[in-house]
Amino acid sequence: MRNGGGWSTRELAEIAGTTVKAVRYYHRIGLLPEPERAANGYKRYRVAHLTRLLRIRRLIDMGVPLAEMDAIEGSAEGAEQVLRALDAELAASIARQQRMRAELAEALRRPHLADLPAGFGEFPEGLPDADRGLLLISAQVLEPDALDLLRDVPVEPRSAATIAFDTLPADADEATRQSLAERFAPEVRVSRETYPELTALGADGGPFTSPVMLRSIAELFNPAQIDVLQRINAMLTPPRA
């Protein structure tokens, strides 16, 4: 390449590792000064233009937006402010990506549970759609501390009563509902006694009684299942004095 009379736009872009379109854009927004023109009318770029263009490219590579170039060049204080903001944004992005990788690792270990919220990857295969839906909604509407309580509950094999509840048809008769409620109630009692903080989530005014959660339960479970839950609650709720 020649440089005795300066570089053309194409040559300048090639040296700087960018494109002619980018060089022209930097001219248009005032980041790169226009060079003098040769007698034939063509632009002739000098070393000053090259170093300026390389400076622009360097800042872009660090993530500095074009709109912040003036602040970077205006003062050391302005440059520090912009760079610190970029560093904080990058740190947040890295943390987000690390969290995503951890969640992907969990999903790869249990692909059949990939749709569940983070931290709920220990359930066995065959988790009912109603339970999946309730977990997804819970992760969206519950506060982090309430969600942590759910995560901390050990995953145990589904009991015969639990499976019977999962598969209970909507048109189950009275006797079937009552029998299941009586079989299932002892397990629910043990769970309530073992995890009182979790039980409190479903008490009056608790997160599980919010309109979103109540509507979700009403639509995710069929009428017979809802009836069984109500029967169990009546069995386990002491009569008021």
Q: How many CB atoms are closer than 10 A to CB 39?
A: 7
- Tell me what pLDDT residue 121 has: 66
* Residues 33, 177: Cα–Cα separation, whole Å: 82
CATH classification (class only), 9-61? mainly alpha
- How much is the pTM? 0.59
Residue 63 has pLDDT above 80, yes or no: yes
* Residues 100, 116: Cα–Cα separation, whole Å: 13
Q: What are the residue boundaries of the structural domains of the chain, listed by start? A: 9-61, 119-236
Residue 182 has pLDDT above 90, yes or no: yes
Q: How many CB atoms are closer than 10 A to CB 4?
A: 5
Residue where the block lists tokens 């509902």: 177
Residue 2 has pLDDT above 60, yes or no: no
pLDDT tens sequence across 222-237: 999 999 999 999 998 8
pLDDT tens sequence across 12-22: 999 999 999 99
Long-range contacts from 204-209, C-beta under 8 angstroms, 24+ separation: 207/141, 207/142, 207/143, 207/146
Tell me the average pLDDT across 205-234.
90
Contacts of 6 (CB under 8 A, 6+ apart): 35, 36, 38, 43, 44, 45, 46
Residue 137 has pLDDT above 60, yes or no: yes
- Classify residue 231 by burial, with Cβ atoms within 10 Å: 0-12, 13-18, 19+: middle
Residue 185 and residue 235 in contact, taking contact as beta carbons nearer than 8 Å? yes
Residue 120 and residue 86 in contact, taking contact as beta carbons nearer than 8 Å? no
